[in-house]
Amino acid sequence: MEIQDYDLDDEDVVEKEKPARKKKSGNGLKALLAVVIAILAMVLLVVGCIVYGYFTGKIIIKENDAPADENAEAPIYTESQMQEMLEEANEDAEEKIKVETEKAYEEGYRIGRNELLEFIRDKLLTTSSSIRTFNTIFPDHLVVVSKSSYHFVPINRDLAQSEIVDDRVMMLESGEYQYTDESGNVISHKGIDVSEHQGKIDWKKVKDDGVEFAFVRVLYRGWGSGKLVEDNTGEDNIRGAIANGINVGAYVFSQAVTQEEAVEEARRAIDIVSPYAQGIPIVIDVEYVASDDARMDVLTPEERTDVILAFCDEVSSQGYIPMLYYNTEMGGLGVENERLEGITKWYAWYSEVPYYPYKYDIWQYSDKGSVDGIKGNVDQNISFNAFWE
């Protein structure tokens, strides 16, 4: 209740009533006293109610002047109930964090996915090889396609790495490739590899077409029977190439499954080559064969590496240059590269830029080349080193 001051109108103030006002002042004092007593009574009543409510738990006094619900009753919880509430609150907080994290992840994934797809699209538009695109995205892995599956093989940086610079690989209008130094001078050597599949070869025309070296198949082993067979044109091709000033090497298509068979292949190859040339490269050609019963395909990388080393050791012991021919699948999954360090490599990759992390000396870039003096297709190569000198 508020005490108000009321203003009196001038017309209510009359001189003749002054004596009477003195009498009324006594009554006004009594009235004022009554009002004060009533206010005090109300204050005491309110205070009493508050004290009673506090001690009976009907009223909660909150800290920090926080507003209280007038209708709320004081909660009383056991320790286990408090623990349950804490756990519930924690779960609620974790759920909210999870929801926000998932939203952020989805947004980041959407942005990153779009950028990645755009990057992949641009790479595919500028190269004919999807593997080259993967190479850009996964620079620390060798991406290998084998049996319709992609394999991501970690690259061993402790091994000798390829020093081929992509920008210095040049393709001519003829479809041939060359490799240049930093000044643009051609430093690679043009080569081919041949077998009886090429038929009779006019080696003079081959020489006039700029071919500097040729690898000639001299032996092959049946992938099913295991029989070792001489190439029908091997010796003729070696003689023809040498007679026309073309450097030669010999290769064996191997399907050896034991070290003994590998040594047999090496010795037979040397017997064929030795009457015509000394100290030339003799290559073991190791490939997977698209057949369920291909004898060499069942070897483990360790076993296959044992076979390769047995062949190379025999070749080296006879004064020839041991060399390994393989492709990305074999180099990435089929051998133990750590054990093949120091052996000259001949790498097959049919694309615009060679794709292999480890050092190699010869690149076979096509099996559909064209060279004067040879009817039909022929494998084309470039050598980065003049290993025959």
- Looking at per-residue pLDDT, the higher value among 145 and 134 belongs to 145
Residue-wise pLDDT tens digits, 102-116: 776 676 666 666 776
Q: How confident is the model at residue 292 (pLDDT cuts 50, 70, 90)?
A: confident
Comparing CA positions, the residue from 220, 198, 346, 365 lying closest to residue 283 is 346
Comparing CA positions, the residue from 257, 195, 194, 196 lying closest to residue 221 is 257
Give the mean model confidence (pLDDT) for residues 148-172: 93
Pull the structure tokens for residue 182.
């930093």
pLDDT score of 281: 97
pLDDT score of 145: 87
Task: Give the range among 169-173, 356-360, 383-387 with minimum mean pLDDT.
Answer: 383-387
pLDDT score of 72: 54
Q: Which alpha helices (H) appear in the chain, and where do they start and end?
A: 18-56, 79-126, 130-137, 203-208, 234-243, 259-273, 301-317, 328-329
Which of helix, strand or coil describes residue 33? helix
pLDDT score of 129: 63
Q: Report yes or no: 273 and 305 within 8 Å, Cβ to Cβ.
A: no
pLDDT score of 37: 56
Residue-wise pLDDT tens digits, 306-344: 999 999 999 999 999 999 999 999 999 999 999 999 999
Half-sphere exposure (Cβ direction) of 149: Cα atoms closer than 13 Å: 5
pTM of this prediction? Answer: 0.70
Which of helix, strand or coil describes residue 148? coil
Q: Residues of 59-97 as b/e, b for ≥16 C-beta within 10 angstroms? A: beeeeeeeeeeeeeeeeeeeeeeeeeeeeeeeeeeeeee
Task: Give the range among 6-10, 145-149, 245-249 with minimum mean pLDDT.
Answer: 6-10
Q: Which helix (H) or strand (E) holds 142?
A: strand 141-146
The rounded mean pLDDT for the chain is 82
Give the mean model confidence (pLDDT) for residues 289-302: 90
- Looking at per-residue pLDDT, the higher value among 22 and 38 belongs to 38
Residue 186 CA, distance from chain mean position: 34
Give the mean model confidence (pLDDT) for residues 98-103: 74
Task: Give the range among 50-54, 209-213, 243-247, 346-350 with minimum mean pLDDT.
Answer: 50-54
Examine the pLDDT at 70 and tell me if it is beyond 50: yes
Examine the pLDDT at 232 and tell me if it is beyond 90: yes
Examine the pLDDT at 35 and tell me if it is beyond 80: no
- The secondary structure of 320-349 as a DSSP string is -EEEEEEEHHIIIIIS-GGGGTTSEEEEE-
pLDDT score of 266: 98
pLDDT score of 257: 97
> Per CATH, is 163-383 categorized as 3.40.1350.10?
no
What is the percent of the chain where pLDDT is above 90? 57
Residue-wise pLDDT tens digits, 171-215: 999 999 999 999 999 999 999 999 999 999 999 999 999 999 999
pLDDT score of 66: 46
Examine the pLDDT at 29 and tell me if it is beyond 60: no
CB atoms within 10 A of CB 154: 9
pLDDT score of 380: 98
Q: Report yes or no: 362 and 383 within 8 Å, Cβ to Cβ.
A: yes
pLDDT score of 114: 74
